[in-house]
Amino acid sequence: MMSATELSRVKDIYLPQKATVTEIYSMTATEKFFRFHLEEGEALPYMPGQFMEVSVPGFGEAPISISSSPTRTDDTTFEMVIRKAGNVTTALHALVPGEPVGLRGPYGTHFPVEESMKGKDIVFVCGGIGLVPVRSAIHYVLDHRENYGQVTILSGTRSPEDRLFTEELYEWKTRSDVNFLETVDTADKRWGGTVGVITTLLKQVHIDPTKTVVVICGPPIMYKFVLLELRKLNVDINQIYVSLERHMRCAVGKCGHCQINGLYACQKGAVFNYADIVDVREAI
Ligand SMILES: Cc1cc2nc3c(=O)[nH]c(=O)nc-3n(C[C@H](O)[C@H](O)[C@H](O)COP(=O)(O)OP(=O)(O)OC[C@H]3O[C@@H](n4cnc5c(N)ncnc54)[C@H](O)[C@@H]3O)c2cc1C
């Protein structure tokens, strides 16, 4: 039997650590940027693609992807982008710097930036708020640029007003070692770029299927069409990673809210190798 001291050292998987909001600002009509800093407890090392349960006292908690990269922040600071959707996210939007939140995690699988992506050409396909978790992997790859082949970033949003991290998009567009292409579904008068769904961009890039890893995150409808296009380009399904959101509660494989035909998305995902779920009904 464990002693009381030993028991107290066992990390409680349901217990959030205390953090504060150190920065918050509006990015679009519905999304806000947040920087959280852990005030006490242990540092929380993470990898790109992982998420945390963020809680607001009195309101509850929600799973939110980490948008920063461990190459740019320490393990006590986390950047996130949160869309106002309901109870918890509305409470998060009402916070001001200095106010407390709880952080539980990090949870889930990660983009295999070290394991399977090194030495490969990388294509990031980001639809809308899907850019948020992928940004972490983009930063990671750009901060170890010499370890990867060609880097292509494809980004699509509904309209120019929905674009996130516009300064970073500009930076990627102007880098000589990044192929950045962007599109919007609906343009306004000032938009001089591509108009159309994100698959339009896939037709404009050269992909060598023998040495390319593709990372995809976006709205559910996007996966189907992007995957169809990739199949036409002969990209092996083992070389495709998708990040999938499911309604989630505990995040530790207990409650079953996130199950996809017996697969716990909180533990086997949110980042999946497409080969592992291609035959799982209702996964995509
Ligand atoms: C792994 C993971 C990572 C996520 N990362 C982010 C992120 O980086 N930024 C962000 O803004 N959101 C993210 N989400 C979605 C976010 O968790 C939900 O929007 C949030 O839980 C809603 O909580 P709420 O109490 O505000 O809304 P609720 O009152 O619970 O619900 C409001 C509405 O949102 C819908 N909703 C709730 N959860 C989800 C979900 N998982 N997917 C789709 N619709 C949902 C409900 O059906 C309802 O219509 C992520 C979800 C998962 C599973």
CATH number where 182 lies: 3.40.50.80
Query: What would the pLDDT profile of 77-101 be if each residue is shown by its tens digit?
Result: 999 999 999 999 999 999 999 999 9
Same domain, 170 and 92: no
Å from CA of 215 to ligand 1 middle: 21
More reliable by pLDDT, 123 or 220 = 123
What's the confidence (pLDDT) of residue 11?
A: 63
The residue to mutate among 24, 33, 50, 64, having the most atoms of ligand 1 within 8 angstroms of its beta carbon, is: 64
Å from CA of 81 to ligand 1 middle: 12
What's the confidence (pLDDT) of residue 8?
A: 47
What's the confidence (pLDDT) of residue 148?
A: 98
Determine what percent of the chain is predicted with pLDDT higher than 90: 77
Q: Is the CB of 164 under 6 A from ligand 1?
A: no
Å from CA of 246 to ligand 1 middle: 8
Give the number of the atom of ligand 1 that is nearest the alpha carbon of residue 133. 8
Give the number of the atom of ligand 1 that is nearest the alpha carbon of residue 91. 26
At 264, the pLDDT band (50, 70, 90 cuts) reads confident
Q: Which residues pair with 104 in a beta bridge?
A: 53
Å from CA of 181 to ligand 1 middle: 28
Residue 93 phi, psi (nearest 5): -65, -25
Dist CA 86 CA 219 (whole Å): 18
Give the number of the atom of ligand 1 that is nearest the alpha carbon of residue 66. 8
Same domain, 61 and 31: yes
Q: What is the CATH number of the domain that holds 74?
A: 2.40.30.10
- Please give, one letter per residue, the 3-state secondary structure of the chain: CCCHHHHHHCCCCCCCEEEEEEEEEECCCCEEEEEEEECCCCCCCCCCCCEEEEEECCCEEEEEECCCCCCCCCCCEEEEEEECCCHHHHHHHCCCCCCEEEEEEEECCCCCCCCCCCCCEEEEEEEHHHHHHHHHHHHHHHHCHHHCCCEEEEEEECCHHHCCCHHHHHHHHHCCCCEEEEEECCCCCCCCCEECCCHHHHCCCCCCCCCEEEEEECCHHHHHHHHHHHHHCCCCHHHEEEECCCCCCCCCCCCCCCEECCEEHHHHCCEEEHHHHCCCCCCC
**Residue pointed to by tokens 């209702």:** 282
Lowest mean pLDDT among 21-25, 79-83, 178-182, 221-225: 221-225
Domain-located, residue 256:
no
Q: Is the CB of 281 under 6 A from ligand 1?
A: no
Same domain, 39 and 135: no
- Whether the predicted pLDDT of 2 surpasses 50: no
Same domain, 225 and 171: yes
Determine what percent of the chain is predicted with pLDDT higher than 70: 96
Residue nearest to atom 53 of ligand 1 (CA): 245
Q: Is the CB of 87 under 6 A from ligand 1?
A: yes
Lowest mean pLDDT among 63-72, 89-98, 187-196: 187-196
* Average pLDDT taken over every residue of the chain: 91
Domain-located, residue 4:
no
Q: Is the CB of 246 under 6 A from ligand 1?
A: yes
Domain-located, residue 208:
yes
Per the structure, the count of domains in the chain is: 2
What's the confidence (pLDDT) of residue 125?
A: 97
Q: Which of 49, 82, 106 is the last residue of a domain?
A: 106
The residue segments making up the domain with residue 84 are 11-106
Residue nearest to atom 10 of ligand 1 (CA): 82
pTM reported for the whole predicted model: 0.92
Same domain, 80 and 166: no
The residue to mutate among 27, 243, 247, having the most atoms of ligand 1 within 8 angstroms of its beta carbon, is: 247
Query: What would the pLDDT profile of 6-38 be if each residue is shown by its tens digit?
Result: 544 446 777 899 999 999 999 999 999 999 999
Å from CA of 33 to ligand 1 middle: 15
At 213, the pLDDT band (50, 70, 90 cuts) reads very high
Same domain, 125 and 182: yes
Q: Is the CB of 65 under 6 A from ligand 1?
A: yes
How many CA atoms, within 13 angstroms, populate the side-chain half-sphere of residue 78? 36
Query: What would the pLDDT profile of 139-168 be if each residue is shown by its tens digit?
Result: 999 999 999 999 999 999 999 999 999 999
